[in-house]
Amino acid sequence: MKFGKFLMTTAALAFSATTAFAGADIFVIGGKPDDPFWSRVKMGAEDAGKVAEAQGGSVTWLGPQNYDNLGPDAAELIRQAIDQGADAIVGPDWVPEAMDPAFEAVVAAGIPLVIYNAGGIEAADRLGAMNYVGAVDYKSGHAAGVYLAKAGNKNGACVNTLPGAANIEAFCNGFNDGLVAGGGTGSTLQLPATSFGDSTAVAQAVRAHVLQNPEIDAMFAIGDQDTNAAISGIQQAGKAGSVAVCGMNFNDSILANIKAGTQACAIDQQGYQQGFFAVSILNNHVMYGTTIPTREILTGPGVVDASNVDLVIAGVEAGAR
């Protein structure tokens, strides 16, 4: 055991000694590698890392074992990256209270930092990071609203199955504002919290709502399961085709629905791009001193609809979407 550990440390030391001056060693803090969303982010980071590797650098993924103690665990990973001699660090600001001191230590050590996935440009500004790469909940909803308004739907409702959750409220506010921007009106259908995860309850609520409010011709659901339930509710109300549905995120059955035309669009935060651009920005900065003056690099929302669904399906097979 001990001997093995010794070997590994010497190997790691030898490795870092040979590469430290050649290229940029970039450390990326992210979610569990077996988490479906984070596996796409990781793939993006590693694809961008191929350039770093060609230059003699490296990309190292640091993820927690589980999400039970997320803030402190992630802060620990950030400090590990500093200790391992990172030339640049990418990290999400999931729990600012626990993680901000670690990010401040990165900046204090003079290591270039990019915040991605969570925290927004506010976190990047607060911490002195170079940039923020990620999606914004409000804009995801907004994109769906604008998309449906453009398609001729003028009266929308956002199905909120988690009243009180800040990110869900941001989805719904964005959706309603997006509809208004496109010349329509929006409202929110608040469901009791007990209906979360209960497809039948969501479907029947949606159905009652569209029957009682016949002027509604567009709906937005906050997740893939709710989207399937909302579509079922609309079909049961006999309004398939006259009420268009968009939803957050997608899976195989949602892509099939988009292809079949029963769902208008799905909104994706495009995790692959978060890893890809964060690593690219830092690698180019460390190697050549370049900067990206555009603050807040938005990787989402991406709209999946009938026009690009085949490409998305190919992307799913490749593991990038």
Classified as helix, coil or strand, 131 is: strand
Quote the least distance from Cβ 200 to other proteins, whole Å.
5
When the beta carbons of 39 and 60 are compared against other proteins, the nearer one is 39
Q: How, if at all, do strands 265-268 and 302-304 pair?
A: antiparallel
Q: What residue type is 118 in one-letter code?
A: A
Quote the least distance from Cβ 256 to other proteins, whole Å.
6
Quote the least distance from Cβ 286 to other proteins, whole Å.
33
Quote the least distance from Cβ 206 to other proteins, whole Å.
9
When the beta carbons of 224 and 305 are compared against other proteins, the nearer one is 224
3-state helix, strand, coil in the chain (%, to 5): 55, 15, 30
Q: What is the dihedral of CA 98, 102, 107, 111, to 10 degrees?
A: -140
Quick one: which of 178, 181, 236 has its CA closest to 209? 236
Chain residues in the site for other proteins (CB under 8 A): 34-36, 39, 190-192, 194-201, 203-205, 207-209, 211-212, 224-225, 228-229, 232, 235-238, 251-254, 256
When the beta carbons of 106 and 264 are compared against other proteins, the nearer one is 264
When the beta carbons of 39 and 80 are compared against other proteins, the nearer one is 39
When the beta carbons of 98 and 201 are compared against other proteins, the nearer one is 201
Quote the least distance from Cβ 232 to other proteins, whole Å.
6
User: What is the rounded CA–CA span in Å between residue 86 and residue 25?
Assistant: 6
Quote the least distance from Cβ 52 to other proteins, whole Å.
27
User: What is the rounded CA–CA span in Å between residue 219 and residue 187?
Assistant: 10
Contacts of 140 (CB under 8 A, 6+ apart): 171, 174, 248, 267, 269, 300, 301
When the beta carbons of 56 and 163 are compared against other proteins, the nearer one is 163
